[in-house]
Amino acid sequence: MKQAMSRVLRRETHSSRAPLSVIAAILLGLLAVYGLLESMLRVLGQPAWLIDPLTAAQRLAGLPAGISAMLLGATGALLLLVGLIFLSHALLPGRRARHVIADPRVAVVVDDEVIASALARRTRMAAGVTREQVMVVVSARTVQVNVRPTSGIMVDEDHIRASVEAELEAMALDPAPAVVVNLARTGVVGV
């Protein structure tokens, strides 16, 4: 069960590539249905719908002729780009913006957005500022806390860092991110 759970967690923190797969399968299926139609028309000795397969093969074989080089190059470049997108989806790890909370009984994954809003709340209370003055960005290995202080009121950077780190420690995230606190050099007036 332990092993099964770690596998479930791995699946939850990585993308399944399902949307692009469905798009690719639909495109592939439509192309194949069209090819099926034309070749069956040919088998039955009926006139072709758009182009007869043998004529299509002849056109392909004579290629740089019969089409403007500009259009051919553009088509090729487009195919190249789409192929690159597909290949990168196949090869890249595809990590989702999620962290794992270690727990012996329940496997827990948290969206980074939830972590960020919890840390923003903690920062807001530690710095004594309003919601709009705090922005927290959570990525896999770092937490960036941006605070824009109220004009004329000092905020304590070490205190903010300590309280954010304490909150992160209580969360026990895996992988554990490092905290970066940025205090804006300009303040906000009228809050």
Partner 1 sequence: MNTTPRGFNRFMLGLLGLFMLALGAGLVLLAVVPAAGRWWQSWAEPQVRSLGGFAARTHIATSAGSWVWLVVAAVFVAVVIVSVSWIANQGKGRANVLFVAPGSAEDDGASGKVVLGTAVAEQTLKAALLERTDLLGVSVSTYDFRGQASLRVRVLPRQGVAPQDVATDIRSLVDALDTLLGVEVPVLLSIGSGARTRFTRAERVR
48 binds partner 1 (CB under 8 A): no
* Stretch of residues binding partner 1 (CB under 8 A), selected from 41-49, 137-145, 158-166, 181-189: 41-49
Is the CB of residue 39 less than 8 Å from the CB of residue 53? yes
* Stretch of residues binding partner 1 (CB under 8 A), selected from 6-14, 143-151, 152-160, 180-188: 6-14
- Angle of the 112-127 helix axis to the 157-171 helix axis, nearest 10: 140
Residue 174: which of 107, 124, 118, 123 has the closest Cα? 107
The yes or no reply on residue 29 touching partner 1 (CB under 8 A) is yes
Q: ∠150-152-153 over CA atoms, to 5°?
A: 65
What 3-state DSSP class applies to 68? Answer: coil
Q: Can you tell me which residue has the tokens 């420690």?
A: 169
Q: Does 1 bind partner 1 (CB under 8 A)?
A: yes
Please choose, out of 1-9, 137-145, 148-156, 183-191, the segment that lies near partner 1 by the rule CB under 8 A: 1-9
Q: Which is nearer to partner 1, 136 or 181 (CB)?
A: 136
Min dist. Cβ of residue 105 to partner 1 (A):
6
Give φ, ψ of 76 to 5 degrees: -60, -45
Lookup: tokens for 172 = 């026990």
Q: Which of residues 153-172 bind partner 1 (CB under 8 A)?
A: 167, 170-172
Distance CA 21, CA 177 (A): 32
Q: Is 50 in the site for partner 1 (CB under 8 A)?
A: no
For the CB of residue 186, give the shortest distance to partner 1 in the complex, in Å: 26
Q: Which range in 21-29, 138-146, 148-156, 157-165 contacts partner 1 by CB under 8 A?
A: 21-29
Q: How many residues bind partner 1 (CB under 8 A)?
A: 82
Task: Please report, as residue ranges, which positions from 71 to 130 form the binding site for partner 1 (by CB under 8 A).
Answer: 72-73, 75-91, 101, 103, 105-111, 113-115, 117-118, 120-121
Q: Is 43 in the site for partner 1 (CB under 8 A)?
A: yes
CA–CA dist 136, 157 (Å, integer): 15
Residues with Cβ within 8 Å of residue 42, at least 6 apart in sequence: 48, 52, 53, 54
Q: Least distance in Å: CB of 103 to partner 1?
A: 6
